[in-house]
Amino acid sequence: MKKIILVFLLYIFSLGIVPAEPIRLATTTSTENSGLLKVLIPHFEKQTGNVVHVLSVGTGHALRLGQDGNVDVVLVHAPKAELRFVDAGYGVNRRSVMVNDFVIVGPENDPATIRGENDAVRTLQKIALGKHIFVSRGDDSGTHKKELFLWKKAKLKPKISWYREVGQGMGRVLQIASELDAYTISDRGTWLVMRSKLSLKLLAEGDPELHNPYSIIAVNPARYPGINYLGAMSLIAWLTSVEGQNHIRNFRLEGQPLFTPTAVKN
């Protein structure tokens, strides 16, 4: 019996050998799906010799991974939750990295007549008033938090009869909205990637409330001594450097610039 346990332990430990300490980055599906990270990370890896492991999840999930010390650094977009994360001592050295925006999309025939609307609150009120189907992320992501904030601002409580909370990523939600001829709110990046596969149209945009700022935060090394804090800081330094910011500015999706860098002032 002892031998069996010993052999089993040997199995486990032989599995645990990892060559170089990677930087674990938890980030949102929007940065991964838009292809931004596929452009940025290789530049960073080449310049610094680090290896980055990207976990793309919702913002809420990413912050939770940071809180538990399961990743070294998070790149997320939910300012209020980020501040709480830092205040609670889970994260340090929060830097803003870039900004893009949310858009409200819906079916071509637009039964709620929101086309051309530039007031997000009024848009949602119209959708709710007409009881038009609205698909919600429902996954505690940055987009979901923004959507809930807008409902609150519009003084509305979504009703189950027209409100579909699906608990999935942005790409899936856009597909579901497309299948149901429903409205939804999306980050512009995922919308641009997906739009050719959808029967939805961009209907409302441009409200300052729809701004979508991204920040990067290192996980507090005092809470988790073994964490790759230096790696996390080097990623933060690079993303907020003139060079990293230029890569963000030059990133194009279907010919359109997508993110505006915000870390360094010219």
Partner 1 sequence: MNGLLLTTQQALQLLLSGDAELWSIVLLSFSVSLKAILLTTPLALLVAFALNHVNFPGRRIILAFFNSLLSVPTVVIGLFLYVLLTRQGPFGNLRLLFTQSAIVIGQMILCFPVLVALGYAAIQASDRRVWETARTLGAPTWFSILTVFYEVRFGLLAAVLTGFGRIISEVGISMMVGGNIMGYTRNITTAIALETSKGEFAQGIALGMVLLSLAFLLTAFLSYIQGKKEFTT
Q: Point out which residues bind partner 1 (CB under 8 A).
A: 4, 7-8, 11-12, 15-16, 18, 22, 24, 29, 33, 53-56, 68-71, 168-169, 171-172, 174-175, 193-194, 197-198, 224, 226
Distances (CA, A) of 200 to 13, 79, 152, 175, 253: 51, 29, 25, 9, 18
Nearest distance, CB of residue 134 and partner 1, angstroms: 20
- Give the nearest distance from C-beta 18 to partner 1 in angstroms: 6
Residue 24 Cβ, how far from partner 1 at the closest point, in Å?
7
HSE-CB of 58 using CA atoms within 13 angstroms: 20
Q: Which is nearer to partner 1, 90 or 183 (CB)?
A: 90
3-class SS of residue 165:
strand
Minimum distance from CB of 118 to partner 1 (Å)? 28
Which of 15, 160 has the CB closer to partner 1? 15
Nearer to partner 1, 33 or 123 (CB): 33
Quick one: 151 or 191, whose CB is closer to partner 1? 191
Quick check: helix, strand or coil at residue 249? Answer: helix
Quick one: 14 or 109, whose CB is closer to partner 1? 14
Min. distance of Cβ 179 from partner 1 in angstroms? 11
CB contact at 8 A, 143 and 102? yes
Alpha helices (H) along 34-187: 36-48, 59-67, 79-87, 120-129, 142-153, 170-180
Q: Which of 104, 60, 56 is nearest to 82 (CA)?
A: 60
